[in-house]
Amino acid sequence: MTTTVTSHRPRPAAQPESLRTKRLPRYAAPAIALAALLVAAVVVYGAGIGGPVLVVVLGALLYLVGLFVAAKAVEGPRAARNRTWSALIHSAFVLAVLPLASVAWTLISKGVERLDGDFFLTSMNNIGARDPNGGAYHAIIGTLEQVGVAALISVPLGILCAIYIVEYGRGKFAFAIRFFVDVMTGIPSIVSGLFVLAFWVLVVSPWFNDGRPSFSGFAAALALSVLMLPTVVRSTEEMLRLVPAPLREGAYALGVPKWKTILRVVLPTALPGIVTGVMLAVARAAGETAPVLLVAGGGASINFNPFENNQSSLALFVYQQAGDASRYAPARAWAAALTLVALVLILTIAAKLLARRNRLGR
């Protein structure tokens, strides 16, 4: 006789209607945004109180209010607050990206007009106001040499200073170094140029130039290094502090000396962040105009020697062309600005790839 046992499992009870979560449909947020922009446009243009910028700002405010009201009516107060704060965060991101995108679009749209072989392979020597030719070859050479020399001076000094502050510095001396580094961070660029002008150009350079002061690209590099140094120190210091202490302790437990631990463990771990700080310093130095104008003097001809005679830079070239009366000068200025941004971008990408390759290769 076969007995069949039937298992009766209790079925899950139906979820009460009061516990079900109601949500706004997916099209609700875009619809509210479109309605907010339309209402803002009607109000702004109808009253004649502004333009597209005011329409966007007022539309964003109306969108936040409308989204909160709709979400509160359908989803409840808690979900409404969550949606509103999420919208605020996304709006902040858009507001941060819009100026950058606007600058990039302006540079590209106005700078491509003169991006040709003549611009990259010729200088402004013997170029008159009615001559459409002329380029920024001399300024590109000057920027590369000045920023390169400044990096050779400031990057090793900055990294060594940060290592001392984090790994060795104690007491009042380390506090004094941090204080002066913070003060140097806020120094205007023209002050660094005046310092190098008073010290190097007027006092030191006459020793090498038959008693006469002389401008040079090296003097500009000294002024730029003064600006780069605090950025390198502060960024490297913060990156070194982020290295976990157990990494150091593990190396010490294996009997590795402190200097070797810093060289082989701490610095490689913090390398990507250090590279980012260095490239920020390079970007600031490449875009400075006042120090180069004060101690390098500028110039229209090509000068490959940074230790003698005047030398120009891309930032100074943009400044000079923007103030030139020639109708061909604005196109050169926009092309030089685009070249400067592209140069910094290329250097940053190359440095990041190099740091990533070294980190993966260990």
- AA letter at 110: K
CB contact at 8 A, 96 and 83: no
pLDDT band at 361 (very low <50, low <70, confident <90, very high): very low
128 SS3 class: coil
Q: Give me the percent of the chain exceeding a pLDDT of 70.
A: 93
- What confidence tens digit (pLDDT) does each residue in 122-151 have? 999 888 888 888 899 999 999 999 999 999
DSSP class per residue in 227-246 = HHHHHHHHHHHHHHHTS-HH
Distance of alpha carbon 127 from the chain centroid: 34
DSSP class per residue in 18-52 = GGSPP---TTHHHHHHHHHHHHHHHHHHHHT---H
The mean predicted confidence, pLDDT, of the chain is 87
More confident residue, 362 or 165: 165
Q: What is the pTM of this model?
A: 0.79
Query: How far is the C-alpha of 342 from the C-alpha of 322, rounded, in Å?
Result: 19
- What confidence tens digit (pLDDT) does each residue in 283-295 have? 999 999 999 999 9
